[in-house]
Amino acid sequence: MKKKILILSGGISKERLISLETGLQVARELKKNGYKIKLSEPDNNLEKTIKKFKPNVIFNALHGQFGEDGYIQTILEQFKIPYTHSGVMASSIAMDKEISKKIFINHKIKTPKFFTYSYDIKNFHLIKKIKLQLNFPVVVKPLNEGSSVNVFICNEKNIINVLNSVKNYKKVMIEEFIAGREIQVAVMGNKKLGAIELKPKRKFYDYKAKYNKNAKTKHIIPVKLTKSKLNKVLNIALKAHKIIGCKGVTRSDFKFYNGKFYLLEINTQPGMTKLSLVPEIAAYRGISFIQLIEWILKDAKTKK
């Protein structure tokens, strides 16, 4: 008899719509293959829903804050029911760009130079500091958002306006801008699943480039790299997956410039929509969407 799967999607993050789409597509695929499915929001009725439905596995299709930052994982731990993707600590670390980048640096993984900017500290020498440490242009990004939400490439003229527009975050990252190619790598457990290159029509692979069908981002697979360079980026992604302590499937985002790979971040809950990259990489490797989902469900049972 096929198992009962509770899919958590939606939530309150800025990635709510993407999460709903992921949840719906996973639900349709599982239903087609005989699973008993219930879609649920991670709301105040979650405990009641879990006790009534009695799922065998909880598929976490949430994205962004409260969904992939250790918050919902902490809640799910109390139910003693296997849930998909990474656990509390790995989710929390991977979502925090400052902490994860410091870990990358400590493990000799190249990542763009950066510093954090706090709005409660008046920094009258910000422009000077950027010129000394990073150079313009720079990237301004929140510490705990995904899907390139509120990520901006800034020059000396617009950076103050950009910082003022995202001051509700209280603290943001100002990062060295690395030009070059966009390479994304998927890891599946302890397996290097593969890579894909993105060529966005927009300035960079931002939220619209990721999720707007009209953005016309070009997906290139196989990636045009030498065998040794491809192996190198796959190995870096697997290393990052392991040192953060990730489970299940992850996607690591790289820039490739002047023969070097720069790891931007690791995503512990990559999307599962029609435009998502991990299913596309898996398909290229001969793994169908249902096979990918079933592997993720099976992996959930082995979570420590």
Catalytic positions are 15, 147, 211, 251, 253, 265, 267, 271
| Residue 115: closest CA among 74, 174, 69 | 174
Q: For residue 198, list its beta bridge partners.
A: 182, 219
